[in-house]
Amino acid sequence: MRITVVGSINLDLVASAPRLPRAGETVTGATLARHPGGKGANQALAARRLGAEVCLIGRVGDDAMADEATDLLDAAGVDLSEVETEAAALTGVALIAVGPDGENQIVVAAGANHGAMPEQLPARIEGPLIVQLELPIATVEAAVGRATDFVCVNLAPAAPVSDQMLRRADLIVVNETEAAFYADLLHHGGGRVVTTLGAEGAVMHQRGAEIARAAPPTVTAVDATGAGDAFVGAICVALLEGMAPEAALRFACAAGALAATRPGAQPSLPTRAEVEALLA
């Protein structure tokens, strides 16, 4: 299969600290690492490492961070021919604080991602499509409107979107916070809605009725950054390959769990062999 991902591309600056700060507090003793990130880029790489052909449509700045942000995508064979460079902007940056239990706090400076306009999109997007909400909403909705096949909408971070886009989605993925933000709007269409539940796994609904549920394998969490994106890439690959809902959820939960066992967003994303070994 060949999946198109329309989404953000960032460089993640990750501070691993003895604990996460409270509001107004400074925590010292952290170590700093730099990793490629951005929800669009993460989900593109996740799907690629799980066996799909992937094309990423996005935007970076004309700076050294752009090369860092796309290195792992390029090395994995993600098609970057539709990634444009904006000379007047910096590549997007995410500032991430990670605690010893793997929990994190994230602040994103979108940079060039804000410049991804509908005019950058092809007139028709053939094949499956994955989108998130780290690009301008108008661009995300235009991408969904031009899709001709399966559409997955990851409603992260939560923001107001059109009911038309929600109804068009074949698959909606949210976490518990995002599910509370959208409430019943999630179930207005006929597509499947997956809610991730952290350590409790994930549940799938269709037309408001639960149709599947799965728990993740037990792992030792190091950094939750990228785990949700690993889940999105995996659930799309699994469903597109024809897995039944429960099997698809187990596959995606395993991918997300593996991502949480390693630091960084993209460096933590598992391969197909790793996911299958954990499930076995």
Q: What are the pLDDT digits (tens) for 85-110?
A: 999 899 999 898 989 987 888 898 99
Instruction: Give the pLDDT score at 104.
Output: 85
Counting beta carbons within 10 angstroms of the beta carbon of residue 190, is it exposed (0 to 12), middle (13 to 18) or buried (19 or more)? Answer: exposed
Q: What are phi and psi of 201, to 5 degrees?
A: 100, -130
Q: What amino acid occupies position 59?
A: R
164: left (phi > 0), else alpha (psi -120 to 50), else beta? alpha
| Active-site residue (options: 12, 79, 170, 229) | 229
Nearest alpha carbon to residue 61 among 85, 34, 82 = 85
pLDDT given at position 223: 80
Report the largest interatomic distance among the alpha carbons of the chain, rounded to a whole angstrom. 50
pLDDT value for 263: 86
pLDDT at 238: 98
How many residues appear in the chain? Answer: 280
| Residue that the structure tokens 């969904």 belong to | 144
Report d(CA 233, CA 48) in Å as an integer: 8
Buried b (16+ CB within 10 A) or exposed e, 81-107: ebbeebeebbbbbbebbbbeebebeee
Are the CB atoms for 197 and 9 separated by under 8 Å? Answer: no
Query: Is 223 considered catalytic here?
Result: no
Positions in the chain whose pLDDT score sits under 50:
none
> What is the predicted pLDDT for the residue at 97?
92
In this prediction, residue 101 carries a pLDDT of 84
